[in-house]
Amino acid sequence: EPGSVAAVVAKNMSADTKEHWTVPFVDLKEGRVYPEKVEAYLHELFKRRVAVLDGAMGTMIQGYKLQEEDFRGERFKSHGSPLKGNNDILVLTRPHIISEIHEKYFRAGADICETNTFNGTSIAQADYEMQSIVHDLNKAAVQVCRAAAVKVTKDDPTKPRLVAGAIGPTNKTLSMSPDVEDPSFRAVTWQEVVKAYKEQIKGLHEGGVDIFMVETVFDTLNAKAACYALDEYFEDDLEGKVPRPPLIISGTITDKSGRTFSGQTIEAFYTSMAHTKPICIGLNCALGARDMRPHLEALSKIAECYVHAYPNAGLPNAMGGYDEDPPAMVESCKDFFDSGFMNMIGGCCGTSPDHIQALAGLAADYKPRKPRPQCTNMRLSGLEMYEKTDNIPFVNLGERCNIAGSRRFKRLIMNKKYEDALQVALDQVENGAQVLDINMDDGLLDGVAAMQKFLKLIVPDPAIAKVPIMVDSSKFHICEAGLQVVQGKCIFNSISLKGGEKNFIEQGKKLKRYGCAVVVMAFDEKGQAATKADKIRICKRAYDLLVDVVKFPPWDIIFDPNILTIATGIKEHNTYATDFIEATKWIRTNLPGAHVSGGLSNLSFSFRGLGNLRESMHAVFLYHAIKDGMDMGIVNAGALPLYTDVEPELLKLLEDAILNKNDGATEALLEYAEKERENKDNKGGKVKKTAEWRNMTVEDRLTHALIKGIVKHIDADTEECRAKMDKPLQVIEGPLMKGMSTVGDLFGAGKMFLPQVIKSARVMKKAVAYLIPFMEAEKKASGGGSSSAGTVLMATVKGDVHDIGKNIVGVVLACNNFKVVDIGVMCPLDKILKAAEECKADIIGLSGLITPSLDEMVDVAREMQKRGFKTPLLIGGATTSRMHTAVKITPKYHEPVIHVLDASRAVVVCSNLLDKNQKEDYVEDIKELYDDLREEYYEGLSEVKYATIEEARARPYVIDFKKEPAPVKPKLIGVKVYKKYPLKDLVKYIDWNPFFQTWQLRGKYPNRNYPKIFNDPSAGKEAKRVHGDAMKMIEEIITNDILECRMVVGIHPANSSGDDVIVYTDDDRKTELCRYHTLRQQALKEDNDECYMAMSDFIAPVDSEVPDYIGAFAVSAGFGCAEQCKKFAAEHDDYKVIMLKALADRFAEAAAERMHEMMRTDLWGYAKDEKMTVDDMLRVKYVGIRPAPGYPSQPDHTEKLTMWKALDVEKNSEIGLSDSLAMMPAASVSALCFANPKSKYFATGKICKDQIEDYAGRKKMQVKDVEKWLSADLAYDRA
């Protein structure tokens, strides 16, 4: 009928169209799409340019003002329920409208349009009682969209237009309960959602869709079900005979917290979905582009595939509309492109073809993002991501939510007290479990129902659900039931070869489809592996099957080679521990990526009832097993003692038994155990020993309690210690900090595990909490609070929940009259910086315990620089270090960045930073220290990677010269000469610090610099004497004209051309005076937003048509120095020889300072209103830079030849150059001068062969000659 799907398709896809179709991966005669070719095209597209997606369908439909009869059409005229609002059905009732909308988006520049099937599942269509039409609806939607694609491509065959099948989230959620009275209730099951999605997928596929797009994901579990259905349809229903079209996934952040509606962070969401291998992943809807930005950045940092965004046209207004017009949306989205986040851009709610056309125009100007390399660390997720890195030697798998491992938990579950059982889970997380093991295996329990109910209760509890889950059962179907209710990436515990290879492979494929990590038990058809040889054989066989046949990621494989019971009295059991340890070492060495885990309780099963002995045994075993590669384990973290705390006698017995050191080891340990049993007063070996430490001094008791994690006596001991000391703060700075230092040492040495560290921190927190009221009372009594030493904002960075150390620093600072604003834990950078602005923070302090926090701190520093902050930044926390701060964080932020080791240092650091008299010297002292640390770090690197010169040039230092204020035209264009410049006018410009260094006089902070060096207890007296002699000689020099100062300066029109600066004779810019050749950095930058600098970047390019300028000067104060030195030498007065040379150098540098000032304020005049002290000049606070050839920004001395020729230096001043291009007289300085306010000093670093060859060609020199002059700067060995 007219207006039907068939009619619309026939009209658009005419025979004439078919003849003009040139896209190779579509064959309209057969009506087929070849998915493998679509995917290849998409890879090429996303690498070549930023692709464009369509905009909102609903917004466009609203513009047609459709009524009920439009939605019904003829087909559904008599349907019993209202249909208005069911937009998807319009593909059947008004297909010409939907086709017209697709056509408008394709003509606006879209490469891909989504089908009108957002609600195309039976679950969503049930609201309209239209479940029966789902297949027809989806098939027709593809055909209608395809028809529009063909029509537009007929008119413009320059590129293909693709059809993406939109798969929406449904209107039901698998992760949350709609019943507030029953948080374990779900309105829909996993199986129902998978079935509904599969029905939609079948319709889309039969319609001929190019791409599947699972979009607007607010519940990750729903999206996992959609992808599971997709895989099941193609692999099972179609038996793998038909290639699957590529997959795109799009999540949605529902608020500014950066989480999905079901509570996951972006990183956790990506980790949960990464197994589906999407070609592209991104974000859409919910937020406007500006609010989406930080979350898109987080995704871009982690995604190994391409990344997209299609935000709303701003946030909805009061009337539910969207206010961002196309130009405004382009401006909002521009930062996505500037930051390099994008492979595809589109629009969601409120957008139109005009928006898409504007975004397409924006996208055309940018290069696409490069996907991250494949991460080979195991990543897991709950509400947050957990990544197992080399910095985490051991992952604690919390064991207490295991019916077989905890009597308390079993009792609660068997009595159906599930809510009470949640406390067991919470205790495990708070005790340091990084993964939560859940096991419901019991003969009298419905394992599937119990597993799902408990996990459903965990999901809405963020304190528990933040960590990943290990579903644990000896029955596959119980574990699988657990996977179906958890949105995060879990560990499946376990599978084995016990049922044979076929069953093992089938299970492996299914688990790969779920996207979990897997524990593989060392069992096969013959039984459990007991010996080292059997463990190795079975694990190798299982690994090969999973990796080679199933294509399972090796880093998601965890072997459990079976920890078996030792010291049983049976000789064959004596090697079980060593067999496990040795097999572990073999697995970690020979099965790349695989991990090793195990349950410790089996090891000590012989000693049931002897808790102390058993836990000591576990600690000793772990100490050795971890060293050989065991990196996970099911342990009771709260009960595990320190390896170093095991009594020496027991330690020897345990090591003899565990390591099977002698034939009598088992017997000796059994004898010890028997004695323990006979001691009726010692239940588990704990009561008898605990009282001894109570006889220590109170200071030692506090330290001991902290190390051991004992809370019982902490209030009483803290009070006793407080009464002995002058101030309550001294309790923290003394015994408590001493204990924490010991904890840090033990943790660093691998003799304490993270859960034990957390126990120690709890004790610290309790002691500090006891002291706080006393410290506050002391502060109030002293009048504290009426004025503040300064405001310090403190935050634990995003992804980190640890705050014990930060809280202690806060207390210490508050007690020293600082106002402390603590904004808590898990703080995104935007929250930190907004809070800093709101409270007008004088200092910002960042804290973090886990390794990913280091990257967050780098990001905060980078953003502070980007936003123009001037606030000092303090870095602290267990994983931070002075070296990391110096190497990774300081270069990102140009204001002071200082690592604070612990609370005892915080007051001194903050005080120095806020003391106007101390700050500059202190900051300079830190800067020099961190410069040395960076140099030490980079020199120690065994291998430094470099960018090619073309790659480096693709990421220059960018100055938008057309938007920046126009360069100031100099008053002087040409060359000017100054002879016999008055030395008396230069005295005030002398920088005395290098003078004292000449005499090897160095003061220590705070008396390091002139004139404070005179107060230094060691160097001060001598410094004052030498300075007095210098001032006398300066008077003689000026009075007797001993030295003469000469200066030559030139300023000329200039523009850059690539890495060169073209200098013109005059402002006509037609005659080239000379050409300065600059060098570009090549040492590989870790961050994509970091540039590779060359000095030419500071001059406006020729094609910018912006008239720019460059300056140069050469000065000398060395004329007359050699003659006078000969006289002093003849008098055997070496002291005066050295003194005169040192002062000539100082006068030369002073002349350079004065000349640069004259250029800035007069001769060039780009800073003519400058009001600056000499001290500020010496601290380089002026606008512009004056780098010299032979120094870090331009290490090539031969550039002096160009400068000397351009300024005719030798003729104008008699300042010459030696064969080695040293300036003569020696007391001379030369420099190029750049006026742009964004110009900065930098070090070029090592240079690669490709740049040397390019540089030699530009300079018309032989490569070997360039290599000779730059030999110290080559990144390679020259021939």
Q: Give the integer Cα–Cα distance in Å for 51 and 1223.
A: 56
- Written as six digits, the tokens of 1157 are 């000032």
CB within 8 A of 755, min separation 6: which ones? 396, 431, 432, 433, 637, 638, 640
Three-state SS for 512? helix
Choose the catalytic residue: 802, 899, 1027, 1156.
802
Q: Give the integer Cα–Cα distance in Å for 912 and 479.
A: 58
- Written as six digits, the tokens of 147 are 């028809």
C-alpha distances (whole Å) from 844 to each of 101, 392, 834 are: 51, 28, 12
Contact 873, 865 (CB under 8 A): no
Q: Give the integer Cα–Cα distance in Å for 668 and 569.
A: 11
Q: Give the integer Cα–Cα distance in Å for 288 and 435.
A: 35
Chain CA centroid to CA 654, Å: 43
Q: Give the integer Cα–Cα distance in Å for 211 and 480.
A: 29
Q: Which helix (H) or strand (E) holds 5?
A: helix 5-12
Contact 152, 107 (CB under 8 A): yes
Report DSSP state, residue 550: I
Q: Which of 121, 148, 144 is nearest to 6 (CA)?
A: 144
The strand pairing partners of 1111, in sequence order, are 1051, 1233
Q: Is 802 a catalytic residue?
A: yes
Using a 10 angstrom Cβ sphere, with 0-12 exposed, 13-18 middle and 19 or more buried, the burial of residue 508 is buried
- Ordered DSSP codes for 882-900: HHHIIIIIGGG-SS-EEE-
Q: Which helix (H) or strand (E) holds 1050?
A: strand 1044-1057
The strand pairing partners of 1076, in sequence order, are 1061
Contact 279, 245 (CB under 8 A): no
Report DSSP state, residue 67: -
Contact 22, 160 (CB under 8 A): no
Contact 1240, 1192 (CB under 8 A): no
Three-state SS for 163? strand
Choose the catalytic residue: 494, 853, 1213, 1228.
853
Q: Which of 885, 887, 880, 879 is nearest to 938 (CA)?
A: 887
Q: Rg of the chain's alpha carbons, rounded to an integer?
A: 37
Q: Give the integer Cα–Cα distance in Å for 1153 and 1140.
A: 20
Q: Give the integer Cα–Cα distance in Å for 254 and 263.
A: 9
CB within 8 A of 344, min separation 6: which ones? 46, 50, 51, 52, 53, 111, 112, 280, 282, 306, 307, 308, 309
Q: Give the integer Cα–Cα distance in Å for 313 and 330.
A: 10
C-alpha distances (whole Å) from 700 to each of 524, 557, 696, 739 are: 54, 46, 6, 9
- Written as six digits, the tokens of 988 are 């005030």
Q: Give the integer Cα–Cα distance in Å for 111 and 12.
A: 18
Count of Cβ atoms closer than 10 Å to residue 850 Cβ: 22
Choose the catalytic residue: 631, 800, 1097, 1196.
800
Q: Which of 446, 448, 467, 449 is nearest to 458 (CA)?
A: 467
Q: Give the integer Cα–Cα distance in Å for 475 and 1108.
A: 76
Three-state SS for 634? strand
Q: Is 713 a catalytic residue?
A: no
C-alpha distances (whole Å) from 1126 to each of 47, 162, 165, 726, 1134 are: 69, 85, 90, 66, 10
Q: Is 272 a catalytic residue?
A: no
Q: Which residues are catalytic?
A: 800, 802, 853
